[in-house]
């Protein structure tokens, strides 16, 4: 018997999640978020996820609340006996912190990878990571997708003579050069 597939949206990715679910001939599964007076929040699933492949679709921009929401959703799915928990992160917050550029600074991308693994994620799907090495920070499989491939043909078809694609830093140079 095939395991059910459930798609859940984070608070800031409902439209994207609905489009992803729709592309699979499905709908977003029902979930809720309770907000407490001190600013904490508690996400919950309004239907069973036991034995299911659970896709948690949540971008982490801005990272603080959205990353915490994703971590809490992962923990809830784990505690509810989901079979697999896949974090779909169109934007991977803290990806620019992929190495130490000077002494006494964190490697934020590695910390986020550790947090997701500790929370119980079994796979991560993300797009256009700041640096490919971030995939190696995880103890679980990472599907690193590239949006640039979708845009290259459209940009070429614009026939712009003096088009310049710039990168904000060295980490994005590879992506900029893809254009």
Residue 57's pLDDT is what?
98
Query: 103 with 82, same domain?
Result: yes
- Number of domains within the chain: 2
Q: Does residue 101 share a domain with residue 24?
A: yes
Do 76 and 153 fall into the same domain? no
- At 179 the pLDDT is 65
- Across 2-29, b (16+ Cβ under 10 Å) vs e yields eebbbbbbbebbeebbbebbeeeeeebb
Domain that holds residue 86: 5-145
Residue 171: per-residue pLDDT: 64
CB contact at 8 A, 65 and 24: no
- Whether 140 and 163 map to the same domain: the answer is no
Q: Is the same domain home to 62 and 41?
A: yes
pLDDT at 160: 86
| Total residues belonging to the chain | 179
Structure tokens at 37: 């007076």
179 and 99 in a common domain: no
Whether residue 120 sits in one domain with residue 55: yes
- pTM here? 0.88
Strands 53-57 and 41-45: unpaired
Both 19 and 91 in one domain: the answer is yes
**Co-location of 73 and 131 in the same domain:** yes
Nearby residues of 39 by Cβ (< 8 Å), 6 or more positions away:
none
Instruction: Give tens-digit pLDDT for 42-57.
Output: 999 999 999 999 999 9
Q: Return the pLDDT at 11.
A: 92
Report the pLDDT value the prediction gives residue 23, as an integer from 0 to 100: 96
- 59 and 132 share one domain: yes
116 and 171 co-located in one domain: no
Q: Report the distance separating Cα 69 and Cα 40, nearest Å.
A: 10
CB 122 within 8 A of CB 134: no
* Cβ proximity of 56 and 85 under 8 Å: yes
Residues 84 and 53 in one domain: yes
CATH no. for residue 69?
3.40.50.2020
Residues of the chain with pLDDT under 70: 171, 175, 178-179
């Amino acid at each position: 018997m095939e395991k059910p597939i459930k798609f859940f949206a984070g608070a800031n990715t409902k439209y994207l999640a609905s489009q992803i679910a729709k592309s699979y001939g499905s709908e977003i599964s029902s979930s809720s978020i309770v907000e407490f007076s001190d600013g904490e929040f508690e996400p919950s699933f309004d239907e069973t996820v036991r034995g299911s492949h659970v896709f948690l679709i949540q971008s982490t921009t801005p990272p603080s609340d959205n990353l915490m929401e994703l971590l809490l959703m992962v923990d809830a799915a784990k505690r509810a006996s989901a079979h697999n928990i896949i974090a779909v992160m169109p934007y991977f917050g803290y990806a620019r912190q992929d190495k130490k550029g000077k002494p006494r600074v964190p490697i934020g991308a590695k910390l986020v990878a550790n947090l997701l693994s500790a929370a119980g994620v079994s796979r991560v799907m993300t797009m256009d990571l700041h640096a490919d090495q971030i995939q190696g920070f995880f103890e679980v499989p990472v599907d690193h997708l590239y949006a640039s491939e979708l845009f290259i043909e459209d940009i070429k078809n614009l026939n712009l003579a003096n088009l310049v694609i710039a990168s904000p830093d060295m980490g994005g140079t590879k992506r900029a050069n893809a254009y």
